[in-house]
Amino acid sequence: MGFPILLVIILTLLSLILLVVVADNNSTASGHVALNCGASGQNNDDNGRTWDGDTSSKFAPLVKGVTAPASYQHPSLPSTVPFMTARIFTSNYTYSFPVSAGRMFVRLYFYPIAYGNYAVSDAFFSVTTRNLSLLNDFNASQTAQAINVAYLVREFSLNVSSGSLDLTFAPSKHWNGSYAFVNGIEIVPTPDIFTTADTRFVNGGTPAPFQINTDRGFQTMHRLNVGGQAIPPKDDLSFYRSWANDSPYIFGGSGVAFSRDNNLTIKYTSTVPNYTAPIGVYGTARSMGTNAQVNLNYNLTWILPVDAGFFYLLRFHFCEIQYPITKVNQRSFFIYINNQTAQRQMDVIAWSGGIGRTAYTDYVIITTGSGQVDMWVALYPDLSSKPEYYDAILNGLEVFKLQDYGKNNLAGLNPPLPQKPDVNPNGPSREGNSRGTVLAAICGAIGGFAVLLICFGVCIACRRNKKISKDSDKSDDGCWTPLADYSRSRSGNSGNTATTGSHASLPSNLCRHFSFAEVQAATNNFDQAFLLGKGGFGNVYLGEIDSGTKLAIKRCNPMSEQGVHEFQTEIEMLSKLRHRHLVSLIGYCEDKNEMILVYDYMAHGTLREHLYKTKNPPLSWKQRLEICIGAARGLHYLHTGVKQTIIHRDVKTTNILLDDKWVAKVSDFGLSKTGPNVDNTHVSTVVKGSFGYLDPEYFRRQQLSEKSDVYSFGVVLFEVLCARPALSPSLPKEQVNLADWALHCQKKGILGQIIDPLLQGKISPQCFVKFAETAEKCVADHSIDRPSMSDVLWNLEFVLQLQESAEDNSSLTGGMSSSDVSSPLVPTRLQSDEPSTETTTTTTASTMSITQRSIASAESAGLTPSTIFSQLMNPDGR
């Protein structure tokens, strides 16, 4: 009796944990393994590698798991091998490769797409090697979408102590029906490439020596051929590495790329063996530029997204390749990592021993926080060198994540998706096929984004956008204006690439007409490096005119639905709206059939990105009050300051922008131009706005009044007080909606318990009472019970006075000023996930004479580039 049961148990266990030895004859000889998962036989890829299938291979007799062909071959795949087949695991499976002990690159190839009946969305899994977690709850599809690529190669460097390299693929326990998959596994033995150099730990003071343990695991995060073309594996035969072009990571598009002088030969040295990096890396570089005066005024900066909470090894590859730099003390510069000095007076000639000689330097840095963070790498000239040489150079840069010893972990979180559904119903954006599908998927994923909204209204205030994607070449999207840039404000650094056109000074009250030449000059002829965002109806560029005035320039796609007439109507209307607390249209260009709009540049971004999910320093209570007052003034002006009442309809913290002096400006006010004094029948048949901010009465009755804005503004006030999103779907039901929850707490007298912890003890009691009362009134259920904007404004001013007098008279600290807390150690405040909640509900089809547009905005998740996108929509499209 016992025997069959035992057998069943054994069989079950076997099916759960299969340990299989895989190897091919060739690879054991060279040590190089290339396993084409889910395939059989041998196949060559386009990079000179021969891949062995893992199916019915005599070396992998027990391999289990389904094999499946990919459902579609994406044009960007470098080769069909190993991507077009996959091995699918619905239970744990371990590949076991016999390898010689030592260090090796382990590359995992993933092409996230449907395989047979396996939906891409169910691929959710972990990969471990022995005890070390390489990938955890990995969503390949999300990861690929987040950086807008079709396939992924995850490269690790492991020091395998003995016997075999075991790779376990385990479907996630956190997803029903999850499976694991892999398209290819490559193993390339290497010497000890990490512990050879003189590594320094950068943490504020003088960098100290740092010992990297030889058994530590690494993950390659970035490998850049600075100033040069991407280098495919076939051109880096040492280890089949891929080197990417660095320009997508360059901040402000600055620097000048160049190649070695023709008569120069590159020489490796004994300390820099030829496998360190190929000639192609050392033979090209980026410098700051030829104008020493310009170089003095900016840092040549790369911004590289990495996972927070790990140590990183940064390897800088150097080689002087340009005459006349042949002597010590000519080109000398500083290296900063995350704004900390890594190297003073880096002199490549001194380090390498002459022109054409290779060198590299290694630094270790630690990143804090969670999720993804940006790593800043900057070069700045050494001012003690001769002024004519004020410059810096970099040839290559590698960034490796170090295994977290305590947790035996190398896995980061899946990167958040860029929230920028591009939903022109009349066709995908110009980005091509991948974008279309990717974005469609994003739309789906971000369920709440009923982006296909219609809105009505005259439109065009441009929306702010800001995605400077971490892969900015691939960044796309959204559009729009007040390019309030997010935390990585692109200030002062366009370096050598900024040019200015001929121009007259800005007329103060009118909308300026720009010539096309001026716009071209301001954007360096729409240089990709100046691109801040793309959308179905145009691209937004950062422009600089009049020697330094920064602008957001939107070039409407001539193919967009926005006709010339609408374009003009919009300019006419928007150019009349001028107020200190409104973001304004500065000018336009309609030469050569172009439709270009020019807006203010808002250096500090949105209010939201200073409230939560941000690494920006928190705002003090007084700063918050001043910003609320500014925004209230802007809205008050819209409601009463112009001939025809303008109802904003989309008041929220992402539509309140902050300029370089922290002056609050309302944006997107051009969205709707309706009021009770306008014939209502032609107006809103569409509820437009953002859930969480939406006036319940407006929603119920589709009746629009200025009081709808007051309601939304009340939500903003609570958001400012509590530092949490208007909607947080992941919280317990009663807390999801901030307005409801805050009202509930206010009625119970416990509002003080849900305020931003950073404000605890900083708000004077009278001030708090008055503020809460004001916010409470704003979100009254019936519009008739809500105060007017002018009452709100008056109340807020009073609230500020209460706070100021309390601060004067007491020990109340008055909160933190941003300078008090600008230390990088301020904990990042992360809140629960907040899927976008923007939506517009169409209730009836309506005839609109003017432009249709819809918007949705991503929350400004501080840690990631936030995106606000907008879209001109064709009402007939639905």
Name the residues that contact ligand NAG, by CB under 6 A: 16-17, 25-26, 50, 92, 102-103, 121, 124, 126, 128, 130-131, 139, 141-142, 145, 159, 161, 168, 170, 175, 192, 214-215, 237-238, 261, 263, 274, 297-299, 323, 336, 338-339, 374, 376, 378, 380, 417, 441, 445, 487-488, 824
Task: Encode burial over 228-243: b for 16+ CB neighbours within 10 A, e otherwise.
Answer: beebebebbeebbbbb
Least separation, in Å, of the C-beta of 370 and ligand NAG?
A: 15
Which lies closer to ligand NAG via its Cβ, residue 167 or residue 710? Answer: 167
CB 136 within 8 A of CB 126: yes
Least separation, in Å, of the C-beta of 528 and ligand NAG?
A: 22
Which tokens belong to 698? 């407006």
Preceding peptide of 827 cis, ω within 30°: no
CA Rg value for the chain = 29
Least separation, in Å, of the C-beta of 546 and ligand NAG?
A: 21
Task: Classify 219 as helix, strand or coil.
Answer: strand
Q: 688 labelled as ligand-binding? A: no
Handedness of CA 652, 413, 124, 114 (dihedral sign): positive
Question: Within 10 Å of residue 100's Cβ, how many Cβ atoms?
Answer: 11
In the block, residue with structure tokens 């192609």: 280
Least separation, in Å, of the C-beta of 58 and ligand NAG?
A: 8
Residue 19 half-sphere exposure toward CB, CA atoms < 13 A: 8
DSSP string across 321-337: -STT--STTSSEEEEEE
| DSSP bridge pairs for 306 | 373
Percent helix, strand and coil across the chain, each to the nearest 5:
25, 25, 45
Least separation, in Å, of the C-beta of 774 and ligand NAG?
A: 33
Residue 650 bears catalytic tag:
yes
Least separation, in Å, of the C-beta of 137 and ligand NAG?
A: 8
Residues 6+ apart with CB under 8 A from 467: 418, 420, 475, 476, 477, 478, 532, 533, 865, 866, 867
Rounded alpha-carbon distances, angstroms, from residue 95 to 62, 108, 611, 744? 10, 12, 47, 56
Q: What is the distance between the alpha carbons of residues 219 and 737, in angstroms, rounded to a whole number? A: 40
Task: Classify 591 as helix, strand or coil.
Answer: helix
Residues 6+ apart with CB under 8 A from 101: 160, 161, 162, 163
The β-bridge relationship of strands 372-381 and 332-337 is antiparallel
In the block, residue with structure tokens 């969503």: 139
Least separation, in Å, of the C-beta of 408 and ligand NAG?
A: 7
Residue type, 234: K
Q: What is the distance between the alpha carbons of residues 688 and 699, in angstroms, rounded to a whole number? A: 9
Q: What is the distance between the alpha carbons of residues 429 and 869, in angstroms, rounded to a whole number? A: 13
- Which one of 122, 347, 422, 650 is the catalytic residue? 650
CB 649 within 8 A of CB 709: yes
Least separation, in Å, of the C-beta of 318 and ligand NAG?
A: 19
Least separation, in Å, of the C-beta of 390 and ligand NAG?
A: 11
Residues 6+ apart with CB under 8 A from 504: none
Annotation: binding site: 554
Residues contributing to the annotated binding site for ATP: 554
Q: Show which residues are catalytic.
A: 650
